[in-house]
Amino acid sequence: MAVFINSVRMPEPGDTSLEKVHPRPRRPFRPKAPLSVLALIALVLVLQFLFLPQYIYQSDSPGAIKLSQHHLHKLEAGLQKCKEYNTPPVQYPVTRAGSRSNPRWNPETGQKQTIFLKNATLFDGENILRDAVDIVLKRGVIKSVTKSGSAIPEDPVFEEFDLEGQYITPGLVDMHSHHLAFAWPLLGATADTNEKGLKTGPLTPQVRIVDSMKAYDIATTIIASGGVTTSLILPGSVNIIGGEAAIVKNLLRSGENSEEVVEEILLEHGVPQNERRRYMKMACGENPRRLYFHTRMGNSWLFREHMERARELMVKQDEWCLTAQAVKEQGDVEVTRAFITSGPVNSATDYLEYESSIAILRGQVGVNIHCYETEDMEDMIKNSKEFGFRIQAFHHALDAWEVPEMIKASGENITIATFSDFGFYKKEAYEANLWAGKILAKHGVPVAYKSDHVQEETNAKYLLFQAATAHAFDLPEDLALQSVTSVPARSLQIDHRVGYVRSGYDADLVIWNSHPLTVGATALQVYIDGRGTLDPKVVEDSGAANAGKSNLKAPIIPTVVTAEKIAQFCAEAERPDSTLVVTGIQQSYLNEKYPSSTSPNATLVISKGRILCFSSLLDCAPHTDSSTTTINLENGHVLPGLTAFSVSLGLSEIPVEASSLDGSIGKSPSSLEADNVVYAKYGVHLEGRGFGRARIGGVTRAITAPLSDGFAGGVSVGIKASGNHTVFDGGIFKDDVALHFHVGQGAKADNLPTISSEIQKLRQILSDNKGKDNIYGQAANGSIPLAVHADNEYDIMQLINVKKDFNTTDLVLLGGSSAHLVANELASSNIPLILTHPRPAPDTFPKLNSLPGPPLSRHPATALTEAGVKYAIAITGESDCHIHNLLIEASWAAKFAGLTKGEAVGLVSWRVDEILGLSGDGGDEKDFVVYEGDPLEFGARVVLGVEGGDGRVGMCWPESN
């Protein structure tokens, strides 16, 4: 037996072959324990698993009680969120005297003493009151507004100011700004307005602008000095959903400890978090399309997909909330435990990424959409209907004037937060219309003007200027003032505390040196929460107090002339052999031959494009007969045609669209070779949107330099702005005006890596080409002006030294943001300046020392005038959309520099010609323009423009789109 066993092969796992040869015996199973015992064990196990947890939870052990309380706490916390989900934004009652306090006020830095402002002319947020008023401010609130002389403050001690009829308005409300998030000076390290991470993509509702804000931005104080007391700070517009915005008061360090704390500059500082207003920034059109390369339909799909997901989560939230309420009412500890511990599938109370989007669907977040074009606005209105959210405002919206009824038909009272004249800088902005405000208002669409504050061109300090411009283009006076006060406040649902000067409102108001809609209107004092933010001594030194004293009436907008009369007059005026009579000329700024009129009502006779008589109606009678065409003006003015140093007129139609540009010189080293210098005359076009704006501003000639983003600037050309010429028949009045270079940060290149090397290269070009018969040689010997663009004072100092070392050059400085710091040296070196920054801003590091202007500093024109610098004025920017405002800018500068109106006209006409050597062009007969209204104030209209060279009528009642 033993031998047999040892000889048998042991099976491998799973091998059954041996079983077939030697089957195992079958034996009955005999349990080692009785069945009754096994059954008892099974019963105990079942009882343990079924009832032991309940026993544990029902026990009074400290751990069990604590765990039970934890579950109840989580249930209550979830239900509290459910309550918040379904709580609509706070609806505040009508504000009345004594009905509220200012939650921002504190005893340490808040208004300490009662302020009594008497004898004020008040625009209260709705209209200008007929009678003078007295206003009392106390503890950050407007305590009373009464008819002047009817009451005095109850307080025994108060500060009293007699305004002698000066205007007061509510603090201005800017519903679109980026300051604090993108602080001045603009630096890459502080560019925090657009979240462009690969992880987040174009949908970022979860980000918040408060997390980017810097409570030390110098722009905030500058903005406040323009009367802007409240601003909506928005994320940028590269994302379809850009993130949550926040409203601030523009008063830094306003908390109890005077520290740079973001929370303390928020409008709703002191308001419970769950009662605060919320705002979301969205964007459609070019910006998100350009960054993420989606089409409009792709962007729309991404948006709809996101909102549908948000809606799904909202439904889950609601289901959870209903279930949670039922669980609470049941009161069963085990059911509560099971519900709370059941996992994320059922506990959808906390979707942080989608929280803001869900809140939009619940009506708790105001939606503000960056949207320019009609198709984009239509699409977003459809989306809002699909998902059931309300649009507070379309921002920018430069095409809105084309679809006012569509906007109104949405039924949501959508505000159009737009620009008054900024446009053309991209395709979306190409339909910008100066009369848009008037058109929208006529259709009952609310219009607000906003800054889009980032750089100098959109400096929020000058928000009121936009309202004034809109008024100049026929928006009624009260609506123009409402557009920067009560309309944006109402749109943002903060009109219970700002946007009006009424009892119970925040003590945010502005005292102006003139009517707020006049040229150069400047704040004398800005109250924020009852605190005066301007130093009276600084204001006095800035010249603000004297600049507008005599200008307390609203600008006069000329009566609209019918299209039929215009057509009849212009048909006759444009005939080469016509004789025209213009009566009602009140002022002339032409020249010595036609000086300022001494007659209160002079007559101008124009025959074949030449002035035949300019005198009294009686004196001019012999030059007229029954066949002459007469137009009677009420407040006629005659000026020389303006000469604009343009941004890119004739070379750029839409700056970001390559097919609409002549092209840019670039930064290649070969561009500096004399044979490769670019001449604008070879690429210029003589039509476009900018030309239309030029004509309505009285511009008859323009200087345009080649487009350049580097050191080499090419040779500029002189062109006529009438649109009646080609390059074959006099459209170019001077082929080569000046040779241009750029010095500064933007001119750096691989071959010119420093500003030092730029100056060195300029010196080398002048030295190496002296005596040569090329364009550089002409610049070196002074036969063509050498125009160098520079802003920083140290760069300008280097150019002054260049002039000293190469004294035969006719050096002209362009730009000049910080020229006031070297004004004496410019004057003594006989270097003229074309000031392209008449209202500069310290928006970049090289311009950090530029003057912010009254009421915080003197106007740059004041410093230049006092130093004796020969200067003219031009307007810079992304496009030539502001070119029509040349006379307005000149008038503004003149008011602060103490210049006469005639000298103001010269800043944008003959002074430009003198500086660039153009005085002899056009012969003895110069271009002249006839206006209805004073063109140095808002609202004047060009009636007629005559070209001096051939006497052709270049423009007649011109319009811009």
Which residue's structure tokens are 């002035």? Answer: 611
Residue 45, pLDDT above cutoff 60: no
pLDDT at 924: 52
Note the pLDDT tens digit of each residue in 164-206.
Answer: 999 999 999 999 999 999 999 999 999 999 999 878 899 999 9
Please state, in angstroms and rounded to a whole number, the distance separating the CA atoms of residues 616 and 584: 10
Q: Which residues pair with 929 in a beta bridge?
A: 639, 945
11-20, 647-656, 782-791, 841-850: the lowest-pLDDT one:
11-20
Please state, in angstroms and rounded to a whole number, the distance separating the CA atoms of residues 217 and 155: 37
Domains annotated for the chain, with CATH where assigned, are: 91-171+500-555 (2.30.40.10), 172-498 (3.20.20.140), 559-641+926-961 (2.30.40.10), 642-925 (3.20.20.140)
Note the pLDDT tens digit of each residue in 67-122.
Answer: 989 999 999 999 999 999 999 999 999 999 888 999 999 999 999 999 999 999 99
Nearest CA to 473 out of 886, 936, 940 is that of 940
> Which one has a higher pLDDT value, 169 or 27?
169
CA 869 vs CA 542, 705, 740, 795, 862: distances in Å: 19, 23, 21, 18, 10
24-33, 186-195, 586-595: the lowest-pLDDT one:
24-33
Which residue type occupies 179? H
Q: Taking each helix axis as running N to C, give the angle between helix 62-85 and helix 296-330, from 0 to 180 degrees, rounded to the nearest 10.
A: 130
pLDDT at 902: 95
Note the pLDDT tens digit of each residue in 465-497.
Answer: 999 999 999 999 999 999 999 999 999 999 999
Q: Give the mean pLDDT of the chain.
A: 91
Please state, in angstroms and rounded to a whole number, the distance separating the CA atoms of residues 212 and 619: 69
Please state, in angstroms and rounded to a whole number, the distance separating the CA atoms of residues 908 and 834: 10
Residue 619, pLDDT above cutoff 50: yes
Please state, in angstroms and rounded to a whole number, the distance separating the CA atoms of residues 49 and 696: 90
Which residue type occupies 117? L
Give the pair of three-digit tokens for residue 31: 């349990």
Per the CB < 8 A criterion, the answer to whether 399 and 313 are in contact is: no
Per the CB < 8 A criterion, the answer to whether 352 and 87 are in contact is: no
pLDDT band at 12 (very low <50, low <70, confident <90, very high): very low
Summarize the confidence of residues 701-712 as an average pLDDT: 97
Please state, in angstroms and rounded to a whole number, the distance separating the CA atoms of residues 299 and 307: 12
Please state, in angstroms and rounded to a whole number, the distance separating the CA atoms of residues 915 and 158: 55
pLDDT at 448: 99
> Which one has a higher pLDDT value, 765 or 919?
765
Summarize the confidence of residues 10-22 as an average pLDDT: 37
Signed CA dihedral, 880, 882, 884, 886: sign only? negative
pLDDT at 836: 98
Neighbouring residues of 409: CB distance < 8 A, sequence distance ≥ 6 = none
Note the pLDDT tens digit of each residue in 398-414.
Answer: 999 999 999 999 988 99
Note the pLDDT tens digit of each residue in 626-651.
Answer: 888 899 999 999 999 999 999 999 99
pLDDT at 19: 37
Q: What angle do CA 869, 871, 874 make, to 5 degrees?
A: 155
pLDDT band at 592 (very low <50, low <70, confident <90, very high): low
Please state, in angstroms and rounded to a whole number, the distance separating the CA atoms of residues 271 and 493: 15
Report phi then psi at 724, rounded to 5.
-100, 5
End-to-end CA distance of the chain: 118
DSSP secondary structure, 415-454, as one string = EEEE-SS---SSGGGTT--TTHHHHHHHTT--EEE---BS
- 552: how many CB neighbours lie within 10 A of its CB? 16
Cis amide bond preceding 28, omega within 30: no
Residue 922, pLDDT above cutoff 90: no
pLDDT at 948: 86
